[in-house]
Amino acid sequence: GDYETKKRLRATHEGQQRAAGTLSAHRQLYERPFPLYKQPVEVGCFSLDSRRVFCNDPRQLRYYVQPAQSPGFDLRDGYTSRFVKRDDSVKEKLDHVLRWILANRDKIQTRVQTSSSSALGVDFVTWRGHLTKVLTTPYETHEGWMLAASRFRGSIYISEVETEAARVNRETRSERQEEMMYWGYKFEQYLCADDVDGTPDPGGVVNTNEAFCTVVQTRLADHTLLFSGEVDCRVKDPDAPPAPGCYVELKTSAEICTPKQRSNFHRYKLLKWWAQSFLPGVPQIVAGFRDHDGIVVGVETIPTSKISHLIKNEYNCWKPTVCMNFCNDFLSFVKSVVTEDNPRVVYLFTWDPHRDVSFTVHRDSQYTFLPEWYIRDTSS
Ligand code: A3P
Ligand code: MG
Ligand code: MG
């Protein structure tokens, strides 16, 4: 029966981990009780300005302005005339997060009774987006990933490396794809004001260099985490819960007209939306549903905590517990592999759909990502 199958798979899984130094991503292996995930605490924030320069303040934080239920926003407006696109061939790695750490070391909360021997007092430093990819791995069938990890002063830093397939995708996007990538940012502009007493300005320029990022600390089972993630906006109410509880994630998706479309939305879109917002503790997602021509025909607020209930009617659907248990085991695997404390040594973890996670080791290579300015400063 089911139990026997699981037992066999688990034995194989553990055998593989010992023998070959790999980690299975089979979803059945991760159907265990939900692991401890501490409520994320915001320890700081930063902004990236219109020229993508790091600013140690919340100047890019915007305020949510609720739209009509069927607002008719035109997401194509301004694409050719009022759009400044970030150069996504520039690989920023962890640099912005590291700049935040250098400027705010005193704000990082070390456990009172610290078992951690690291200088920062956290086990892992990374971007939220990298963790989102780890969470969704057991259900991903198309896109693999590469994550570089280095141990430095006891903490493990994890930074993404673009796969060959992702690079080809990025360099060969169709004109339609390029334009549709703009739609999500245009939607943000229709819903966000720059000031707490302001209103959105759809006539302005959409500049995707600009970002507001939260920095949170949390713990997944035995792993203490410090990560940063971009936040779209916050509610205006000054009495709202403190960050990240006041943050709102904005999303767009194709309008849902058939049961099949609804099912796909639940199975694929909501998995990614849940993982992205659950990790930093963002409680609300505002979804804009648009037609083929980029007109927003419906807007709905989806509480992040209700997503797991929304999907329960789907047959054989994704489960939050599988995502979190896989992430927990992946971080344990990384800890067991990334043993040499040396910022010039990179352990490169690779995963492709239908394969196990594997790794290679690189010394003084193209993969080294902790910059000299960070190593120098934190050494003193
Ligand atoms: P949508 O998610 O509404 O499509 P985010 O939602 O994470 O704040 O990102 C804002 C927008 O950036 C997205 O809006 C989308 O337009 C664009 N975007 C982000 N990641 C992308 C990706 N991997 N591929 C294409 N577009 C992306
Ligand atoms: Mg965003
Ligand atoms: Mg968004």
Give pLDDT tens digits for 261-295: 999 999 999 999 999 999 999 999 999 999 999 99
Counting ligands in written order, the one closest to the CA of 285 is: 3
Q: 186: closest CA among 292, 58, 80?
A: 80
Cβ neighbour number for residue 208 with a 10 Å cutoff = 18
326 lines ligand 1 (CB under 6 A): no
pLDDT at 205: 98
290 lines ligand 1 (CB under 6 A): no
Q: Is the pLDDT of residue 1 over 90?
A: no
Mean pLDDT confidence for 209-232: 98
Task: Report the mean per-residue pLDDT for the chain.
Answer: 94
The Å distance, Cα 14 to ligand 1 centre, comes to: 37
- The tens digit of pLDDT for each residue in 314-360 reads 999 999 999 999 999 999 999 999 999 999 999 999 999 999 999 99
pTM across the whole model: 0.94
List the residue whose alpha carbon is closest to atom 24 of ligand 1: 181
Q: What's the CA gap between 1 and 102, in Å, rounded?
A: 54
Can you tell me which atom of ligand 1 is nearest the CA of 185? 11
157 lines ligand 1 (CB under 6 A): no
pLDDT at 291: 98
Indicate the pairing of strand 155-161 with strand 124-127. Answer: parallel
Can you tell me which atom of ligand 1 is nearest the CA of 177? 25
129 lines ligand 1 (CB under 6 A): no
Q: Is the pLDDT of residue 9 over 50?
A: no
List the residue whose alpha carbon is closest to atom 25 of ligand 1: 181
pLDDT at 109: 87
Q: Is the pLDDT of residue 3 over 60?
A: no
Q: Is the pLDDT of residue 54 over 80?
A: yes
List the residue whose alpha carbon is closest to atom 26 of ligand 1: 181
The Å distance, Cα 80 to ligand 3 centre, comes to: 21
Can you tell me which atom of ligand 1 is nearest the CA of 252? 3
Mean pLDDT confidence for 358-378: 95
Can you tell me which atom of ligand 1 is nearest the CA of 250? 6
- The tens digit of pLDDT for each residue in 160-201 reads 999 999 999 999 999 999 999 999 999 999 999 999 999 999
The Å distance, Cα 248 to ligand 2 centre, comes to: 10
pLDDT at 378: 66
Band of residue 115 on the pLDDT scale cut at 50, 70, 90: low
Q: Is the pLDDT of residue 90 over 70?
A: yes
Band of residue 379 on the pLDDT scale cut at 50, 70, 90: low
Q: Is the pLDDT of residue 299 over 60?
A: yes
Mean pLDDT confidence for 91-120: 87
Q: Which one has a higher pLDDT value, 7 or 232?
A: 232
- What is the three-state SS of 251-315? EEEECCCCHHHHHHHHHHHHHHHHHHHHCCCCCEEEEEEECCCCEEEEEEEEEHHHHHHHCCCCC
pLDDT at 16: 44
The Å distance, Cα 25 to ligand 1 centre, comes to: 25
The Å distance, Cα 93 to ligand 1 centre, comes to: 18
Buried b (16+ CB within 10 A) or exposed e, 216-239: bbbbbeebbbbbbbbbbbbbbeee
Is the ipTM higher than 0.85? The answer is yes
pLDDT at 377: 83
Can you tell me which atom of ligand 1 is nearest the CA of 288? 3
Kind and range of the H or E run holding 126? strand 124-127
pLDDT at 225: 98
The Å distance, Cα 252 to ligand 3 centre, comes to: 8
